[in-house]
C-alpha cells in the first residue's frame, strides 16, 4: 500500500452522509464520520487491491469441498 493516506473530498463525504434506508433504520450517531470512514476504506481498496479482506481467492473445485453423494 502507498505511504499516502487516502483522502476524500468534502462533497463526496456530504453526499455519502445521506444515509441509505438500512442505515437510517440502524441509526448513526455521526453520519459524516461514518461516510468519511466508508469512503477512506473504499479509496484504500482502490489504491491497493490486496487491502480488502477476503481478497485471496482459493482455487478449489466442487469435488474438493463437497462430500460425495452415496
- Whole-model pTM: value is 0.53
* pLDDT value, residue 57: 59
Instruction: State the pLDDT at residue 2.
Output: 44
Quick one: cell of 48? Answer: 491497493
Smallest CA-to-CA distance from 15 within 36, 44, 41, 30 is with 36
pLDDT, one tens digit per residue, over 10-64 is 888 888 888 889 988 998 889 899 888 888 888 887 777 666 666 655 667 777 7
Residue 29 sits at the vertex; the CA angle it makes with 24 and 30, to the nearest 5 degrees, is 95
What 3-state class would DSSP assign to 67?
coil
> From the centroid of its chain, how far is CA 27?
19
Q: Is residue 22 within a helix (H) or strand (E), and if so which, with residue range?
A: helix 21-26
DSSP secondary structure letter of residue 52: S
Domain segments of the chain as ranges: 1-15+30-47
pLDDT at 1: 42
Amino acid at each position: 500500500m502507498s505511504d499516502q493516506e487516502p483522502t476524500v473530498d468534502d462533497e463526496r463525504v456530504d453526499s455519502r452522509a445521506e444515509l441509505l434506508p438500512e442505515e437510517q433504520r440502524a441509526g448513526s450517531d455521526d453520519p459524516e464520520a461514518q461516510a468519511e470512514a466508508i469512503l477512506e476504506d473504499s479509496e484504500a481498496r482502490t489504491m491497493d487491491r490486496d487491502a480488502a479482506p477476503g481478497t485471496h481467492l482459493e482455487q478449489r473445485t466442487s469435488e474438493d469441498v463437497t462430500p460425495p453423494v452415496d
